[in-house]
Amino acid sequence: MTNLEKYKYDVVVIGAGGAGLRAAVEARESGLSVAIICKSLFGKAHTVMAEGGAAASMGNVNSGDNWMVHFRDTMRGGKFLNHYRMAELHAKESPDRIWELEVWGALFDRTKEGKISQRNFGGHEYPRLAHVGDRTGLELIRTMQQRIVALQQQDARDHGNAESHMKVFSELTVTEVIKENGKVAGVYGYWRESGSEVLFEAKSVIIATGGVGKTFKITSNSWEGTGDGHALALKAGANLVDMEFLQFHPTGMVWPPSVRGILVTESVRGEGGILTNNVGERFMFKYIPEVFKNIYADNEAEADRWYLDQDNNRRPPELLPRDEVARAINSEVKAGRGSEHGGVFLDVSKRLSAEVIKKRLPSMWHQFYELAGVDITKEAMEVGPTCHYVMGGVEVEPDTAAAIGVPGLFAAGEVAGGMHGSNRLGGNSLSDLLVFGRRAGMGASEYAKKNSENPVSDAALKAAAARIEAPFSRTGGENAYSLHAELQEITHNLVGIIRTGSELQEAIEKIAAIRARSANIAVAGDRKFNPGFHLAFDLDNMLLVAESTAKSAILREESRGGHTRDDFPGMNNKWRQVNHISSFDGDKVSVRAQALLPIPKELFDLFDIHELEKYMTPEEITKGGSN
Amino acid sequence: MARKLKLRIWRGDSTNGALQDVVVDANEGEVVLDVIHRVQATQMGDLAVRWNCKAGKCGSCSMEINGKPRLACMTQVSAYGDDETITVTPLRAFPVIKDLVTDVSFNYRKAMEIPSYSHPANLKPGEARMEQIDVERSQEFRKCIECFLCQDTCHVIRDHEENKKSFAGPRFFIRIAELDMHPLDTLKNRKKTAQEEHGLGMCNITKCCTEVCPEHIRITDNAIIPMKERVVDEKYDPVRWLGSKIRKREGIV
């Protein structure tokens, strides 16, 4: 391996989305050397697709807002399956993370007083989302990208080389997190451009690879969302928690077919968009669940008044948490009340003027006009559920983002689990990646400072290299593209928005069969920028994710958040006490139940006891939280 | 519904390459990136193309379609006639890596040369107050998705490799303009350095960049021309620097 390209860093960050960049900034600012590795070009991460905003209880629009209200909303949205400590840290720290972006040059939309404007979103009691039109994710990415450039410029002044202490390695795929002596020692991967291999020795590694959407057929995710970090962590010996919970965003585009799944921001509903079926019925009033009846309007008149007077009216049911809206749309379509192309109608043209729509929802206008030939200032959009976000992910220590079970490994952002429980509120993702990206950067830096170098052995190198070479040494084997398409059919049909035990069993068997066949994938062409070769590795990750999801889903015999069982339709308070932990033995994923940590008394007491009774068992209520 | 589409794709690398003809199914509503993906999945497993969001938001799938710099994900197949052959080639202003993928590192080097945002030292996090109308000027430029189509089309570098050293290009002129018009940025002389160090003077405002911008940013009218004008003005009237920070400059055509 004498010719192998090798680097040595204190901290390696895998992923250059919001969480990865925030982590990298933190690690560099703590004085360490940092490598940022990303599959795409720098600045292209899927975070740019986040439209609505970042939730933070700054109280700029409604001074009644504070971290406790945000915490309550987050726990409610997650149906109380959230890791309470993550939800607490997130609610407390997100305002500071937003303000810090301004110090780095971000330009959010403003209130009349000149503060950061905040908009309404599903499940949030007050207007809470800091935003820039409907391109908030792009603003976050660009701000942190430019912050990294600023730090590199500082290194150029201090050390004569912009890349002396922090370097971005773009279009590089990581295939393995290498451990030595039970601790993280580095990562191994290949340049997508040339196919040549690279070793990064590192004291700590932060996984910030985002989501898993490409495991599914209809998704809002880009090609990068292939569960790489979930799989890397599993293979390194970390656990995944609650992988059965996937968020199907209620509003993806449904027509034309080539854009099916592309996100239609929740801001459309936040700005007053209403959902109707093919008989013109505003159907969401029929789908308000018992637990939300006191805060959502049950009639159109009150729902409409809410846009003008939020203190004296209940919210429109279009703004229920995403899982509720997605299920409602699914039911309408199944009942034959869908649109021509299998969605429902979302209309904002009747509430806002064309000028206001173009100003507040510019990229939505653009997207529908250019891709579907629909002018949303005049007509309704056709929308339907699309796989958007995975609530499950790497099991971490909330305060440090350290992956449980693997010293030196950290995870933040969508790839980490626990924060959002069974369902994420819109807007909580951008704030999550800032809060926990920073914490992962801190955690990884602290670990790197305490631990000495942990060299990678030749044996580990050889094994990693052999794995990359394997698909080229086979001829006439399976085609990665067709296997991927088959996997997407299985997940879509059998592990999708509505699930049953027998179908999940079928899915588990079929996924295993594809996995067996994937060991035979052969790749045409050479290593140079070869997408067939790239997909072979991505597919391996997606197969592990799908297996973990199906095996977790079959165990959870209830419906909660992003997991709906046709054979167990209700929420069962006993299941709220259970997390599902996936682990990997090198051959298959196994899933076990683990008791959820009880909520401490001071957080328990933030809720009305009658609300908690809807989610908790009588014993838990009597106990009144842990001490 | 599906039609047979004639597609001509440039295939090759930095050493050589050629156009290759393929026929591929195209369905209603599909964009050029869809049919390229179909070619990749069914006929050319190793065809290299960059893409990411497929919704015009990340700026990865930049290429030239019938000679025009475009995002493949935002170019409808139906925009071309049934008998027309669609030709896709890599961005011409940058070195080819493979097939439709080019080496755009030029742009990242230029980004490194632009002095960063400089926050007022006495303004703590959360204390910033700005008017919406004042942030909107810079926000227009911050819509940039870094597809680099403006860089590709700009004839200053498209046909003159030797200019790359001293010319930052339209993408970075709007970056400088964005910082220059940022209500809080404290670094002075951004226009002057744009002129003297980043090649603003080489731009002769043909507006090619504005025409190809998928975000419809008025690069020439709202960024380049105001900076060019004020570079001249400031030599005589430094007070106008202050003016540039306060109110939006309306509709220069």
Listed residues A332, A355, A388: the one ending a domain? A388
Q: Give the structural domain span for A557.
A: 470-574
A373-399 per-residue burial string, b: 16 or more CB within 10 A, e: under 16: ebebbeebbbbbbbbbbbbbbbbbbbe
- Of B187 and A626, the structure prediction assigns the larger pLDDT to B187
Instruction: Report how far residue A464's alpha carbon sits from residue A441's, in angstroms, rounded to the nearest whole number.
Output: 26
CATH number of the domain at A447, please: 3.50.50.60
- Two tokens, residue A603: 């957080």
| Residue A457: how many other CB atoms lie within 10 Å | 12
Say which residue the tokens 């207007």 belong to: A127
Query: Which residue type is seen at A256?
Result: P
Residue range A115-138: mean pLDDT, rounded: 94
Give pLDDT, residue B238: 56
The answer to whether residue B242 scores a pLDDT higher than 80 is no
Report the mean per-residue pLDDT for chain A: 95
Domain membership of residue A608 (yes or no) is: no
Beta strand segments in A485-563, E: none
Residue of A nearest to B102 (CA): A193
Give pLDDT, residue A223: 85
- Two tokens, residue A560: 């909660």
CB contact under 8 A, B57 and A150: no
Give pLDDT, residue B3: 86
A607 to A324, A602, B83: CA distances (angstroms): 22, 10, 66
The answer to whether residue B145 scores a pLDDT higher than 80 is yes
* Residues A268 and A301 placed together within one structural domain of the fold: yes
Which secondary-structure segment (H or E) carries A119?
strand A118-119
CATH number of the domain at A278, please: 3.90.700.10
* Residues A405 and A451 placed together within one structural domain of the fold: yes
Burial classification of residue A48, based on how many CB atoms lie within 10 Å of its CB (0-12 exposed, 13-18 middle, 19 or more buried): buried
Give pLDDT, residue A476: 76
* Residues A241 and A257 placed together within one structural domain of the fold: no
Residue range B182-204: mean pLDDT, rounded: 94
Q: Give catalytic residues of A, as residue numbers.
A: 249, 269
Give pLDDT, residue A134: 86
By the CB < 8 Å criterion, does B48 face chain A? Answer: yes
DSSP states of B168-223: --HHHHHHHHHHHH-TT-----HHHHHHHHS-GGG-----HHHHH-TT---IIIII
Listed residues A412, A431, A458: the one ending a domain? A458
Residue range A425-451: mean pLDDT, rounded: 97
Instruction: Report how far residue A209's alpha carbon sits from residue A412's, in angstroms, rounded to the nearest whole number.
Output: 8
* Residues A186 and A75 placed together within one structural domain of the fold: yes
By the CB < 8 Å criterion, does A340 face chain B? Answer: no
Q: Between β-strands A409-411 and A197-207, what pairing exists: parallel, antiparallel or unpaired?
A: parallel
* Residues A143 and A29 placed together within one structural domain of the fold: yes
Residue range A497-517: mean pLDDT, rounded: 96
Of A142, A147, A525, the CB nearest to B45: A525
Residue range A99-104: mean pLDDT, rounded: 98
Give pLDDT, residue A453: 94
Give pLDDT, residue A277: 97
Q: If pLDDT is split at 50, 70 and 90, which confidence band does A531 have?
A: confident
Q: Which range among A42-56, A101-115, A521-535 has the greatest average pLDDT?
A: A101-115
**Which backbone phi and psi does A141 adopt, to 5 degrees?**
-60, -45
Query: Which residue type is seen at A233?
Result: A
- B143: chain A residues, CB-CB within 8 Å: 135, 138
Residue range B185-194: mean pLDDT, rounded: 94
CB contact under 8 A, B131 and A110: yes
Helix (H, G, I), strand (E, B) or coil at A347: strand
Give pLDDT, residue A526: 84
Q: Between β-strands A246-253 and A381-390, what pairing exists: parallel, antiparallel or unpaired?
A: antiparallel
A535 to A15, A539, A617, B143: CA distances (angstroms): 17, 6, 46, 31
* Residues A275 and A395 placed together within one structural domain of the fold: no
A98 and A438 Cβ atoms separated by less than 8 Å: no
Of A266, A273, A241, residue with least CA distance to A251: A266
Residue range A395-414: mean pLDDT, rounded: 98
Number of domains forming the structure of chain A: 3
Of B57, B108, B125, the CB nearest to A100: B125
Instruction: Report how far residue B85's alpha carbon sits from residue B35's, in angstroms, rounded to the nearest whole number.
Output: 13
* Residues A435 and A479 placed together within one structural domain of the fold: no
Domain membership of residue A476 (yes or no) is: yes
* Residues A364 and A452 placed together within one structural domain of the fold: no
Residue range A581-594: mean pLDDT, rounded: 97
Domain membership of residue A599 (yes or no) is: no
By the CB < 8 Å criterion, does A132 face chain B? Answer: yes
Kindly give the residue spans of alpha helices, DSSP state H, lying in A30-135: 67-77, 84-103
CA neighbours within 13 Å on the CB side: how many for A239?
A: 18
Give pLDDT, residue B250: 46
Q: If pLDDT is split at 50, 70 and 90, which confidence band does A474 have?
A: confident
Give pLDDT, residue B247: 52
Beta strand segments in B44-135, E: 62-65, 68-71, 85-89, 96-98, 101-102
Q: Per this entry, what is the length of chain B? A: 253
Listed residues A553, A574, A595: the one ending a domain? A574
Give the angle A514-A519-A521 at the CA atoms, nearest 5°.
Answer: 90
Give pLDDT, residue A203: 98
Give pLDDT, residue B253: 38
Instruction: Report how far residue A439's alpha carbon sits from residue A401's, in angstroms, rounded to the nearest whole number.
Output: 6
B85 and B8 Cβ atoms separated by less than 8 Å: yes
CB contact under 8 A, B46 and A95: no
Burial classification of residue A79, based on how many CB atoms lie within 10 Å of its CB (0-12 exposed, 13-18 middle, 19 or more buried): buried
Task: Return residues 3-32 of B near A (CB < 8 Å).
Answer: 13, 27-31
Residues 6+ apart with CB under 8 A from B16: none
Residue range A81-85: mean pLDDT, rounded: 98
Complex-level ipTM: 0.91
Instruction: Report how far residue B128's alpha carbon sits from residue A442's, in angstroms, rounded to the nearest whole number.
Output: 26
* Residues A371 and A292 placed together within one structural domain of the fold: yes
Distance between A154 CA and the closest CA of chain B, angstroms: 10
CATH number of the domain at A504, please: 1.20.58.100
Q: Which range among A136-145, A308-317, A359-368, B52-61 has the greatest average pLDDT?
A: A136-145
Residue range A412-434: mean pLDDT, rounded: 97
* Residues A159 and A171 placed together within one structural domain of the fold: yes
Q: If pLDDT is split at 50, 70 and 90, which confidence band does A115 have?
A: very high
Q: If pLDDT is split at 50, 70 and 90, which confidence band does B251 have?
A: very low
CB contact under 8 A, A110 and B130: yes
B227 to A78, B42, B170, B185: CA distances (angstroms): 50, 50, 12, 16
Give pLDDT, residue A257: 83
Which secondary-structure segment (H or E) carries B16?
none
Q: If pLDDT is split at 50, 70 and 90, which confidence band does B245 have?
A: low
The answer to whether residue B249 scores a pLDDT higher than 50 is no
Domain membership of residue A373 (yes or no) is: yes
Tell me: cis bond preceding B125? Omega within 30 of 0 counts.
no
B93 and B158 Cβ atoms separated by less than 8 Å: yes
Domain membership of residue A550 (yes or no) is: yes
The answer to whether residue B64 scores a pLDDT higher than 50 is yes
What percent of chain B is modeled with pLDDT above 90? Answer: 81
Instruction: Report how far residue B30's alpha carbon sits from residue B47's, in angstroms, rounded to the nearest whole number.
Output: 19
CA A466 to centroid of chain Cα atoms = 32
CB contact under 8 A, A48 and B57: yes
Domains along chain B with CATH numbers: 3-102 (3.10.20.30), 105-246 (1.10.1060.10)
- B94: chain A residues, CB-CB within 8 Å: none
Give pLDDT, residue A46: 93
Domain membership of residue A612 (yes or no) is: no
* Residues A374 and A320 placed together within one structural domain of the fold: yes
Instruction: Report how far residue B37's alpha carbon sits from residue B24's, in angstroms, rounded to the nearest whole number.
Output: 10
Give pLDDT, residue B248: 46
Helix (H, G, I), strand (E, B) or coil at A169: strand
Residue range A345-374: mean pLDDT, rounded: 92
A172-197 per-residue burial string, b: 16 or more CB within 10 A, e: under 16: bbbbbbbbeeeebbbbbbbbbbebeb
Reported as a single tens digit per residue, the pLDDT across A284-295 is 999 999 889 999
Beta strand segments in chain B, E: 3-12, 17-26, 62-65, 68-71, 85-89, 96-98, 101-102
Which secondary-structure segment (H or E) carries A577?
none
Q: If pLDDT is split at 50, 70 and 90, which confidence band does A6 have?
A: very high
User: Can you list the pairs that A155-161 forms with residues at least 24 positions away whose Cβ atoms lie under 8 Å?
Assistant: A156/B112
The answer to whether residue A132 scores a pLDDT higher than 60 is yes
Radius of gyration of chain A (CA): 23
A482 to A213, A361, A491: CA distances (angstroms): 17, 37, 14
Helix (H, G, I), strand (E, B) or coil at A128: coil
* Residues A182 and A72 placed together within one structural domain of the fold: yes
Torsion over CA: A509, A510, A515, A520 (sign): positive
Residue range A610-622: mean pLDDT, rounded: 93
What percent of chain A is modeled with pLDDT above 70? Answer: 100
B160 to A87, A102, B68, B93, B157: CA distances (angstroms): 55, 38, 18, 9, 5
Report the mean per-residue pLDDT for chain B: 91
Distance between A480 CA and the closest CA of chain B, angstroms: 9
Beta bridge partners of residue B13, listed in sequence order = B98
- A528: chain B residues, CB-CB within 8 Å: 13, 48, 98
CB contact under 8 A, B27 and A258: yes
The 3-state DSSP composition of chain A as helix, strand, coil percent (nearest 5) reads 40, 20, 40
Measured N-to-C along each axis, helices B170-181 and B132-142 cross at an angle, to the nearest 10 degrees, of 160
| Residue B115: how many other CB atoms lie within 10 Å | 15
Distance between A585 CA and the closest CA of chain B, angstroms: 32
Instruction: Report how far residue A597's alpha carbon sits from residue A599's, in angstroms, rounded to the nearest whole number.
Output: 6
- A255: chain B residues, CB-CB within 8 Å: 29
